[in-house]
């Protein structure tokens, strides 16, 4: 294995024993990072991963034994990635420096020669100001190829994305800093090209598999739940007609889910509900106390309910299944195990499963999450999945003209070279606000962890923000990256009429002309001191929704790699789940008045 050979070379060049060299490496493993990465890559529980780490950290364990402890099912590259991504670079270099009595700079040169380039580059990136040259260079991280528009050869969006603008002041940076950031960026992208992430590819194939295997199950369930006795007994030749009649009786579709599940539905449900040709109303809820969102017209006879939870163990989902079953017994439960799975079976729900090979929040397009409710609602799932597949292929890491890579690079360079920590999200359409919910969830649960210090801040819809929060943004330059998703289509339903205008040309304007002028003023003012990204759409529709979902996934995944953050896990969320269960048990034990409950639980 390359890692073990590298340690042997390091021992030889450093003139220290192999045992000491291996022990320095093992002792420098960050326990939390290692456990999370091993659990995700090896498909293990965190508890099992921590137990393996205990064995590795024991005094009698060498590196070869450590590799054997992990798994015989993992490839050498996967094992090497788990170790190298989990190393505390400073602790490792410091210990080798102490053992050899040589300075850090000398040790980093040795490490580069013996296949530890990743450790060295990451160390330099995290200690950037220790490598200041004193010479500066004018540097722009705005990619020329995407600077003003997507040329036809680069346009995966069939013209839906009109322009992608990168704006902001050009600055001068230390030459060595720019060199280190560029080297790290190039190294990470090169490493990513070696193997495709688990969530990439297979979108078209999943669509075809769903239509062949799960769509018929849904149809038969709907017929059994909403069909007449006569329709249920129809012959195979009349079956499609009977199913269509049963579907026509569904007036409401309720989807219940939390976190990434729920966020995926915000834009899609809005698009469905605004359509003149909609088959039914799509209602999304995330807790049992949101029942008041469900109209009184929704009944057991006209409502189909979906519950989504892969592991079936969250308290919110379990409570919802129990509470909503009484009012809406016709349901489809998407779960692999847990209490919700058992409740669904007990309630006679149709059970759909998630593939165990999916990558959590990054794999919605390869689960029933979107496609099942969209199918029942009669939405154009074929166009949506084709657009998603087109975007997925356009954002492959080996594509040299990859918009997702360029945006990730833009954000990453601003984070490292300018200290940007907050991504301010701007939009001019309520549906784009709903779309950005997906991005927020991906960033805050996938990227903003492990002390990575990068967060999102949802702005107020343009142009209202100019009188609400813009003073604070402009008054704190070099703190924000302004990320905008904007619809640029001019609505020409009604002209403005200026009664006392001296300039009669104003009477040829529409309200959207004024809004466009005001938003442009915002963006150009932001760009005087802050980096600005603007993705401009003709209009928001299903294809737009598909492109946005895919580009959010790929950008956040690439940023996770650049920031050395494990993108899939959520250890803090798991900690919250444990507390949820404890608090619910505590409620039973306390036996106190409702007005004292919160006080007792948090004191």
Closest by CA to 6, choosing from 56, 54, 98, 76, is: 76
Closest by CA to 159, choosing from 591, 539, 586, 590, is: 539
What are the CA-CA distances from residue 198 to residues 66, 195, 202, 389, 398 (Å)? 25, 9, 10, 15, 15
> pLDDT band for position 588 (50/70/90)?
confident
pLDDT at 139 over 80: no
Compute the average pLDDT of residues 189-217: 90
Please report the pLDDT score of residue 149 as a whole number.
46
* Tens-place pLDDT, residues 279-295: 999 999 988 778 888 99
pLDDT at 359 over 70: no
Distance between CA atoms of residues 553 and 384, nearest Å: 16
Query: Tokens 């450790």 belong to which residue?
Result: 119
* Tens-place pLDDT, residues 266-323: 999 999 999 999 999 999 998 877 888 899 999 999 999 999 988 777 788 888 888 8
Q: H-helix or E-strand containing 332?
A: strand 331-334
Distance between CA atoms of residues 528 and 140, nearest Å: 14
Q: Where are the alpha helices (DSSP H) in 210-284?
A: 215-226, 229-232, 239-248, 260-274
Residue count of the chain: 603
Half-sphere exposure at residue 151, Cβ-oriented, CA atoms within 13 angstroms: 7
pLDDT at 531 over 70: yes
Higher-confidence residue of 597 and 66: namely: 597
Distance between CA atoms of residues 557 and 550, nearest Å: 11
Compute the average pLDDT of residues 138-163: 62
Please report the pLDDT score of residue 363 as a whole number.
85
Please report the pLDDT score of residue 357 as a whole number.
67
Higher-confidence residue of 163 and 369: namely: 369
pLDDT at 145 over 60: no
Please report the pLDDT score of residue 147 as a whole number.
40
378 neighbors 279 (Cβ within 8 angstroms)? yes
489 neighbors 515 (Cβ within 8 angstroms)? no
* Tens-place pLDDT, residues 22-44: 889 989 998 888 887 787 777 77
pLDDT at 113 over 60: yes
pLDDT at 570 over 90: no
* Tens-place pLDDT, residues 182-198: 999 999 999 888 877 87
Work out the number of other CB atoms within 10 angstroms of the CB of residue 435: 26
Please report the pLDDT score of residue 71 as a whole number.
64
Compute the average pLDDT of residues 441-447: 91
- Listed in order, strand segments (DSSP E) in 421-571 are 422-427, 455-458, 480-487, 532-537
Please report the pLDDT score of residue 499 as a whole number.
66
pLDDT at 527 over 80: yes
pLDDT at 154 over 60: no
What are the CA-CA distances from residue 103 to residues 10, 22, 106, 177 (Å)? 15, 19, 5, 21
Is beta strand 136-139 parallel, antiparallel or unpaired with respect to 171-174? antiparallel
Please report the pLDDT score of residue 196 as a whole number.
77
pLDDT at 553 over 90: yes
What are the CA-CA distances from residue 545 to residues 307, 346, 377, 548 (Å)? 22, 36, 17, 5
Please report the pLDDT score of residue 509 as a whole number.
82
What are the CA-CA distances from residue 211 to residues 87, 208, 219, 339, 401 (Å)? 45, 5, 11, 28, 33
380 neighbors 497 (Cβ within 8 angstroms)? no
Token digits of residue 218: 């849904």
Please report the pLDDT score of residue 464 as a whole number.
86
Please report the pLDDT score of residue 278 as a whole number.
96
431 neighbors 267 (Cβ within 8 angstroms)? yes
Q: What percent of the chain has pLDDT over 70?
A: 95
pLDDT at 13 over 80: yes
Collect contacts of 409-413 with beta carbons under 8 A, ≥24 apart: 409/141, 409/143, 409/185, 410/141, 410/142, 410/143, 410/166, 410/531, 410/533, 411/454, 411/481, 411/533, 411/555, 411/559, 412/181, 412/185, 412/559, 412/562, 412/563, 413/141, 413/181, 413/185
pLDDT at 376 over 60: yes
pLDDT at 591 over 90: no
Q: What is the value of pTM for the model shown?
A: 0.91
Please report the pLDDT score of residue 241 as a whole number.
95
Ranges 258-262, 348-352, 522-526, 558-562: which has the least confidence: 258-262
Token digits of residue 574: 């798991």
pLDDT at 463 over 80: yes
* Tens-place pLDDT, residues 470-497: 889 888 888 899 999 999 888 887 777 7
pLDDT at 207 over 60: yes
- The DSSP symbol for 490 reads P
Token digits of residue 539: 């209009």
Please report the pLDDT score of residue 600 as a whole number.
85
Please report the pLDDT score of residue 151 as a whole number.
47
């Amino acid at each position: 294995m390359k890692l073990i050979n590298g340690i042997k070379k390091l021992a030889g060049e450093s003139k220290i024993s192999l045992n000491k060299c291996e022990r320095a490496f093992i002792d420098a493993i960050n326990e939390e990072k290692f456990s999370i990465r091993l659990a995700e890559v090896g498909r293990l529980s965190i508890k099992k991963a921590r137990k393996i780490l205990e064995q590795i950290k024991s005094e009698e364990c060498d590196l070869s034994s450590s590799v054997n402890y992990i798994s015989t099912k993992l490839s050498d590259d996967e094992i090497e990635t788990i170790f190298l991504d989990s190393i505390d670079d400073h602790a490792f270099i410091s210990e080798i420096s102490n053992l050899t009595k040589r300075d850090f700079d000398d040790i980093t040169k040795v490490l580069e020669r013996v296949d530890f380039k990743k450790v060295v580059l990451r160390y330099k990136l995290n200690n950037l100001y220790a490598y200041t040259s004193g010479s500066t260079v004018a540097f722009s991280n705005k990619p020329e190829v995407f600077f003003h528009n997507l040329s036809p050869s680069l346009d995966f969006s069939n013209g839906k994305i009109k322009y992608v603008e990168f704006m902001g002041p050009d600055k001068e940076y230390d030459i060595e800093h720019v060199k280190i950031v560029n080297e790290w960026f190039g190294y990470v992208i090169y490493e990513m090209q070696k193997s495709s992430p688990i969530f990439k590819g297979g979108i078209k194939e999943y669509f075809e598999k769903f239509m062949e295997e799960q769509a018929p199950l849904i149809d038969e369930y709907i017929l059994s739940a909403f069909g007449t006795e006569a329709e249920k007994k129809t012959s195979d030749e009349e079956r499609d007609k009977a199913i269509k009649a049963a579907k026509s009786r569904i007036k409401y579709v309720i989807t219940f889910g939390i976190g990434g599940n729920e966020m995926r539905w915000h834009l899609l449900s809005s698009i469905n509900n605004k359509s003149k040709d909609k088959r039914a109303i799509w209602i999304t809820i995330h807790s049992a106390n949101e029942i008041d969102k469900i109209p009184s017209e929704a009944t057991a006879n006209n409502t189909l309910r979906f519950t989504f939870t892969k592991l079936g163990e969250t308290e919110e989902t379990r409570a919802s299944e129990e509470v909503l079953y009484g009012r809406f017994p016709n349901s489809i439960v998407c779960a692999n195990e847990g209490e919700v799975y058992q409740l669904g079976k007990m309630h006679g729900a149709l059970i759909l499963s998630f593939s165990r090979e999916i990558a959590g929040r990054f794999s919605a397009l390869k689960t029933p999450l979107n496609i099942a409710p969209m199918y029942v609602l009669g939405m154009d799932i074929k166009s949506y999945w084709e657009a998603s597949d087109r975007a997925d292929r356009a954002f492959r890491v080996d594509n040299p003209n990859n918009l997702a890579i360029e945006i990730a690079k833009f954000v990453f360079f601003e984070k490292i070279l300018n200290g940007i920590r907050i991504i301010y999200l701007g939009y001019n359409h309520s549906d784009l606000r709903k779309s950005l919910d997906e991005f927020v969830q991906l960033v805050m649960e996938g990227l903003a962890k492990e002390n990575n210090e990068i967060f999102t801040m949802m702005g107020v819809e343009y142009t209202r923000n100019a009188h609400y929060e813009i003073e604070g943004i402009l008054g704190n330059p070099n703190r924000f990256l302004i990320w905008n998703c904007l619809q640029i289509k001019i609505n020409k339903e009604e002209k403005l009429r200026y009664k006392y205008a001296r300039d009669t040309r104003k009477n040829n304007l529409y309200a959207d002309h004024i809004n466009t002028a005001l938003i442009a003023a915002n963006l150009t003012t932001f760009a005087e001191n802050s980096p600005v990204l603007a993705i401009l759409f003709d209009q928001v529709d299903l294809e737009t929704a598909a492109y946005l979902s895919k580009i959010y996934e790929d950008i956040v995944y690439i940023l996770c790699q650049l920031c050395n953050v494990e993108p899939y896990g959520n250890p803090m969320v798991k900690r919250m789940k444990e507390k949820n269960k404890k608090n619910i048990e505590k409620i039973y034990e306390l036996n106190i008045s409702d007005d004292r409950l919160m006080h007792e639980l948090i004191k």
